[in-house]
Structure formats: C-alpha cells, structure tokens
Amino acid sequence: MNLNLALIVSSIALFSGAGCSGKAKGDSSEASRASTSEVKGQFFNAKIVGWSVGPEVSGDSLQDIRNACEIEITTPSGEVPSSLSVQKVFPFMKVHGHGAPDEQIVTEVVGNRIKVSKISFIMSGPWELHVQATVNGQSGEVEIPVVVP
Amino acid sequence: MTPILKIRFSFFSASVLAFVVVAISLPSHAWACASCGSGSDDPLVLWPNEELKTYVGVSTSSRFETVDPQGKYGQESGPKSRDAFTFAVGKALRNDFFFTLTLPVQQNRLEGSSLRSLGDPMIAARWSWWMPDFSEPLRPQIQMMTSYKLAHSKSLQETTRPDLLDAFGTGIPELKLGIDTFWGMGTVKGGVALAGLFPEERKLGRTTVFPGNGLRATSTVGFSLGGDNKIIGGLVREMRENRRNDGQRVEKSEVLSHSIFVTLDWSPAQHNMLRLSLTDKGRVLENRNMIAASSLSFAWLATWE
C-alpha cells in the first residue's frame, strides 16, 4: 500500500514537474564564422581561413546548399607544400554518427589552399569537415571542427 | 516558506493523498500498462483473455528541432513532417504470454514533395510475471518485455538526397529488454517501466556506428473514465551512453531525452478501442544530442474472438 501510494504520488510529481524546460537557442554569433585553429595531421596540417558563405544549416535543394570555405594546407613542419591534390572533402557529425549528402561538394586547389563549396550541414551543432588530400606525395586525412549555429 | 504557505501546502498535500487513497480503492475495469501509449515502446499490448488483437494507427510528427551536446536548440533541414501508418497484430500463446508484430509505413513530407517507405518492423513479446487480479486491486501487474527492431529503412547515414526525404530510420537494429509494473485496477492508475536498449554495431556509409546502450524509463499516471475508458499521461526519460564511430568512443555524445505524453482511450463498443495520443519529445527538462518533435497519433485497437 505504502509503495503503491509512493509510486503514484511520485508519478504525479514527476509529471507535474515536467513543465520546466531549460531550453536555450543555438549560438548564431559571428564567432562560428571565424577561422579555425590549425589541425595537425600525420602528413599535413589544415586550417579553415575563412567562410565566404556559412557555416549555416543548408536548405532542402541543391541550390540551397551554399556553405563555402577556404582551407589552408601546410606540411607537418608548417611549410607550404610543393604539391597538393584533394581526394575528398566531406562533413561528418561525430556526436550523432552521421554525415550529410556530399556528392555535390566542389573543390578547387589554388596554391596551398583548397576552395570548398556546396558543403551541406543538415543540422545545427558540432560538425567535422574531413579533408582527404595528398601533400608532397603522401596521402592522409584531417578533420577540422566546425560549429554550425 | 511563510506559515500561511505551509498551511496551504499541507492542505493541498493532504487533499491529493486523500484523493489518491479513495481513488485507488475504487474498482475499475480499464487495463493498461506503464509503457502503453507512450509512443516509445510497443504500440500493442494484449490483456489476459485476449487471444488476437490488432492495431491500426496513423500518426504525424512535426516541429523538429535539433538539440546539441550542450542542450542548445537549433534547426535542421529535411522533412517538415513525418507521417506513419502503423499496423500491428498480437497473438497470445498463453494467458500470460503474447507476442506482437509491428509494421510501420512512413511518409516524409516537405513543401510540395513526399516520399513513402516501409519503416523498421518490430517483433515484441511480453510475459506477465504477476497477473492483475480484481480481488486484489493493490497487487500490481508486472510484465517482462522484450522487442527486436529490424533496420529495414534507409538512415541519415545512407541518404543521397539533399532534402533527406529518403531517410526513414536509424539504420541500426536494436534489442530491448525490460520490466513494466502497473497498478491498473483502481480509478487512479500508475506505473513505471524500465527497459535496457541494446543496439547493434553496423557499418553505415563510410562509418561503423554504435549508438551506445541505453536505458528508457517511463512513469505514468492515469484515471479511469468509466468502463474501459481512461486517460493516461506520463514522462519518458531515455539515456544512452557515448556512441562509438569506427570503434572510437565519441566524447560528449551521450543522449538524454525527455518526452511527455497524454493518451485518451475510448471504447465505443465491446472489443474495440479508439486511442488518441499526444507526445512532445525533447521540450521538457534537460535534453542532449537528440531531435525534439511533437507527435499526434490516432489508433483503432480491436480484439478478435
């Protein structure tokens, strides 16, 4: 009987207490648009030096996928590489375990920078931009953190 | 607290307790279970003496918002509403044991376009360890429950469309094992269900993902509205440990989710039940690494001789 009462009363308390919400909206400040600190990889280092569009949650058509940034690549010792080619750049959201459609992503190498456009971020939150590249003949991958407001 | 508030609080507490004591001593014939109608467990449960039962339901979910590891709410692209047609059938093998098969057909909608697919089928079973007894209204019903959800539909990891209309499931099969305790014989009803969630590790797209084992707790309280009619509300708390991607533990990926629901059961005729449920997920208490949504469902449950 006591257990029964306690259970019912606690259920009421639990249910009635559920009205409190600690809801907070995502950060949409300019901070997320700033360049990232350099990420060091085994064969190359990478750093986002700027976003021409975004980072922002993408729209629902190819025309609405507009995120574009420029990534600077250096050798592990911090020098400008003599050769650079890109295999793939794609976004992934580690904390949710999924990526986003990436077939539409366009990359262009200019000097030691990679211009990346049409990056899709399908939701707000912490993402990683994976860069698979060959630098001075050695292929590797780095992941650059990106916060999408 | 001032004395007058203390007096008011005491009077309120005593009134609630008195109401509960009187209410649970009144007999009622409305069966239920703690996880029934919560939208997070099995949609169909058979009561003693029911041999074959069906569930036909429609539901719609909308108002999606993402919740990040810090509990901040944000936006997402993709479908603006997800509708489902769910058919479930349950068969009792004994008076205290039954199994159910659930088949959902889902439809993702986005301004002007939609896509339909079979969702993730689920097979479930329950064994009543303690059966309810009209002669002992304070004796709870205790059921052991298990279910296995197949991963049939395409997941976010496998989607190829920018509008994400082709993503219908998690892509991960999952086993659930739990216990459901319910006091359902009185006018006031209540119960608690606890279930362990054990997903499988699976390669989806480029990554082998493991969403982390979880625990789901459902607490309900309800009232009989006479006969088999009743209203039940509750709170569902779901937690998951850190996920693993390619075997690597991901920091700050723990999931915390709270949902509230209210379910109205109305029996217009013997062996028939109409069920209306409202669920709001991720908008109460603390939430992390989940998608908030609001859902409305309507179902017809029929018992067959």
pLDDT of residue B169: 87
pLDDT of residue B7: 43
pLDDT of residue B40: 54
Vertex A13 angle, CA A11 and A14, to 5°: 65
B162 contacts chain A (CB < 8 A): yes
Give the pLDDT mean for B28-33: 52
**Which of A54, A58, A81 is closest to A68 using CA atoms?**
A54
Residues 6+ apart with CB under 8 A from A132: A86, A87, A88, A89, A139, A140, A141
Pick among A2, A7, A8, A132 to test the B interface (most B CBs inside 10 A): A8
The reply to whether residue B234 touches residue A120, judged by beta carbons under 8 angstroms, is: no
Task: Name chain B contacts of A96, Cβ cutoff 8 Å.
Answer: 156, 253, 289
The reply to whether residue A9 touches residue B16, judged by beta carbons under 8 angstroms, is: yes
Q: Number of A:B CB contacts under 8 A?
A: 158
Are B275 and B261 contacting, i.e. CB atoms less than 8 angstroms apart? Answer: no
pLDDT of residue B25: 42
- B52: distance to nearest CA of chain A, Å? 31
The reply to whether residue A7 touches residue B78, judged by beta carbons under 8 angstroms, is: no
For B192-245, the pLDDT digits (tens) are: 999 999 999 999 888 999 999 999 999 999 999 988 899 999 999 999 999 999
B63 contacts chain A (CB < 8 A): no
Residues 6+ apart with CB under 8 A from B57: B43, B84, B85, B86, B88, B275, B297, B298, B299, B300
- In whole angstroms, what is the distance from residue A128 CA to residue A116 CA? 14
For B249, phi and psi rounded to 5 degrees? -65, 130
Token digits of residue B140: 């709870």
For B123-180, the pLDDT digits (tens) are: 999 999 988 777 887 889 999 999 999 998 888 888 878 888 988 888 999 999 999 9
The reply to whether residue B211 touches residue A26, judged by beta carbons under 8 angstroms, is: no
Q: Find the CB nearest A5 among B20, B192, B205.
A: B20
- B119: distance to nearest CA of chain A, Å? 19
pLDDT of residue A51: 93
Are B28 and B187 contacting, i.e. CB atoms less than 8 angstroms apart? Answer: yes
The reply to whether residue B245 touches residue A97, judged by beta carbons under 8 angstroms, is: yes
Task: Name chain B contacts of A99, Cβ cutoff 8 Å.
Answer: 157, 205-207
Look up tokens 């507490």; give the residue.
Answer: B13
Pick among A3, A15, A63 to test the B interface (most B CBs inside 10 A): A15
A74: confidence class by pLDDT, cuts 50, 70, 90? very high
**Which of B27, B30, B53, B26 is closest to B42 using CA atoms?**
B53
The reply to whether residue B252 touches residue A95, judged by beta carbons under 8 angstroms, is: yes
For A23-36, the pLDDT digits (tens) are: 444 444 454 555 67
DSSP A37: P
pLDDT at A22 over 50: no
